[in-house]
Chain A
Amino acid sequence: MMLGRLQVPPSVKKGEVFEVRVLVQHPMETGFRRDVNGGQIPVNVVDKLSARIGGREVFRAELGTGIAANPYIVFTAVADASGTVEVEWSDDRGERGKASAVLTVIPA
């Protein structure tokens, strides 16, 4: 289980566009680095990340080695109804992680 943080505003008005910030703790190994013995460290990056709000997918990302270590991604979504924002990701080794946050939508 990989660690990650997810941040949404404390409350948003209905119909408003809000930012979702995701920070995943991951070294994003490029495969070009070597360990102390000169052996190659294999590629291991968080290659897939997806976000759902109330069970519906709103954002999906495919990442490569060109994303900095501890990937930080900010995306937007329209506030429709209160619910849970869930973000899931997985790396090349098949390790998975997820984070969720409660979204409160107030009437406009």
Chain B
Amino acid sequence: MAGAAAWPASGQRFQPAQDIRPLIARITGGVEPQAGGIDVELPQIAENGNSVPMRVRVASPMTAQDHVAAIHILAERNPRPRVASFHLSPASGRAEVSTRVRLAGTQPVTVIAELSGRRFRISKTEVLVTSAACLDESL
């Protein structure tokens, strides 16, 4: 296959973990995020990294003064660690989002909650992925 040699499959399958601290700093603007207050529901073992169900809940009264403004999901072993950002408001009622993510291998999934008043919370959840999200399915 023409392009296969230029991009070895082995190099893709075992994505090394990247340092996501600069990315976290960019999101928080340098503010140190506090641990706790985030409940992340992810399977301990995901058979297929192509679609992993995930639910994030942040403890918050969701009032105009004190609410969760955004929820960011980061996966450090994905080729593009920034998975998604969700923007909420007091009209959300609860700080809760569910989605399905792709995970390129066993890794911790980082969730950052951006609270009103530029406060941040962080949580890491380890997921064991038996079959990683295939980066090049035609090989």
Contact = CB atoms under 8 A, between A and B. Distances in A.
Contacts of B94: 17, 76
Interface residues of A, number: 37
A108 interface: no
Contacts of A32: 12, 79, 135-136
A66 to B, nearest CB: 3
Interface residues of B, number: 41
A38 interface: yes
Contacts, number: 119
Contact of B79 (A18, A57, A65): A65
B82 interface: yes
Interface in A53-79: 53, 56-69, 71-78
A34 B138 contact: yes
B137 interface: yes
Nearest to A20: B92
A51 B93 CA distance: 14
Contacts of B83: 63-64, 66-67
A73 B97 contact: yes
Nearest to A60: B87
A76 B102 contact: no
A78 B84 contact: no
26 contacts: A18-B93, A28-B102, A30-B102, A36-B138, A38-B1, A38-B4, A57-B89, A59-B87, A61-B86, A62-B85, A63-B83, A65-B80, A65-B102, A66-B75, A66-B102, A66-B103, A67-B84, A68-B51, A72-B100, A73-B98, A73-B99, A74-B97, A75-B86, A76-B94, A78-B90, A78-B92
The 7 lowest CB-CB distance pairs between A and B, nearest first, are A66-B83, A17-B93, A74-B98, A68-B51, A78-B93, A38-B2, A68-B100
Interface of A: 17-18, 28, 30, 32-40, 53, 56-69, 71-78, 80
Interface of B: 1-4, 12, 50-52, 55, 73, 75, 78-94, 96-103, 135-139
